[in-house]
Amino acid sequence: MRFKNTFADLRARARWFKGLLLLCCVGLGISSEAASARWIGNVVYVTDGDTLWVKGSQQGSDAVKVRLIGIDAPEICQPFGMQARDGLLAQLLGQEVVVIGRRTDDYGRLLARIQLRGQDMGQWLVSHGLAWSYRYRKSQGPYINEELQARAARVGLWQDDVPMPPMVFRHKHGSCY
């Protein structure tokens, strides 16, 4: 399918891609119902401070790429990016977790909360200064209190006087990948 670069064609391309993504998600066993479901799995890989792979505990299930909802961790190539990834890796790799899916994003990742023995890992990352509470429109995000406490204690990325939010970093430098 060929597209031009007009606004209408870009919208058509986005709809086509979302349809393809839905087909891929169904093929991977991530239906829209499953995306909003609660399930148990084992963490098999950690990509960065807010993305990991979880393999369902059911026999034959594939690993699912999960993006932690409610946070934005530093890019892997920006200050504290490696620490965020390593913190998540140390906490979760090989561990059985509860995945509370919300939906899939435009990149096919399952947006979800991850709990390890009842601890919300997004909350853990923000409280340890390894991520920001994700801001959207006028919302300060679900973990703003943890972020304010981490800032006050100057832990993690808050050791820098003015750490650069990942969204600003990506806008200035692009993705690390």
- Which candidate in 2, 33, 38, 67 is catalytic? 67
Q: Return the exposure string of 101-121: e unless at least 16 CB atoms fall within 10 Å of the residue's CB, then b.
A: beebeeebbbbbbbbeeeebb
Task: Report d(CA 102, CA 69) in Å as an integer.
Answer: 8
Residue 109 known to be catalytic: yes
- Which candidate in 85, 109, 113, 147 is catalytic? 109
- Which candidate in 11, 15, 75, 85 is catalytic? 75
Q: Tell me the three-class secondary structure of 92-148, residue by residue.
A: HCCCEEEEEEEEECCCCCEEEEEEECCEEHHHHHHHCCCCEECCECCECCCCHHHHH
Residue 75 known to be catalytic: yes
Residues taking part in catalysis: 67, 75, 109
